[in-house]
Amino acid sequence: MAYWLMKSEPEAYGIPDLKRDGRIHWDGVRNYQARNHMRTMQIGDEAFFYHSNCKVPGIVGIMKIAKLAYPDHTAFDPNDIHYDPKSTEDNPRWEMVDVAYVRTFSSVVSLAQLRETPALEEMIILRKGNRLSITPVSKKEWDIILKLAS
């Protein structure tokens, strides 16, 4: 099993939305490296749900990968904010996975907490200049964050 961190702005789609929906496709990723991460995801992999661009950015819960990567239909819709005219149904550039809700943490594991935890110093999200919306998380990092969340 692999572990991931997947970012979303809570005003666009947050953990309460995923809890309500139960399962949803994770669409709109428009970065090749993040897309490539989705291509390697396997059903059952776990991911931290990270709220970004908000008052207290951080990890708010857990979800599981529920469907392998497949073409992101939002890229084909000219009325969608994620439309990409270079992506076609015959030659899709972008993909998405389905994720399923697992749980919400009782409190946010904030970006500040992550930065203050020495054992997490190598975590990709903490690297200067990193802006990827999907990053791998090591088992060690996963376990440390679960302890911070409890």
Question: CA-CA distance, 123 to 125, in Å (whole number)?
Answer: 6
Residue type at 136 in one-letter notation? P
CB atoms near residue 150 (< 10 Å): 8
The per-residue pLDDT for range 61-100, each reduced to its tens digit, is 999 999 999 999 999 999 989 999 899 888 899 999 999 9
27 has a pLDDT exceeding 90: yes
The per-residue pLDDT for range 14-25, each reduced to its tens digit, is 999 999 999 999
Structural domains of the chain, with CATH: 3-149 (3.10.590.10)
Question: CA-CA distance, 137 to 143, in Å (whole number)?
Answer: 10
Average pLDDT score, the chain: 95
Burial 122-135 (b: 16+ CB within 10 A, else e): ebebeeeeeebbbb
In this prediction, residue 88 carries a pLDDT of: 86
132 has a pLDDT exceeding 90: no
CA distance between the termini of the chain:
22
CB 56 within 8 A of CB 81: no
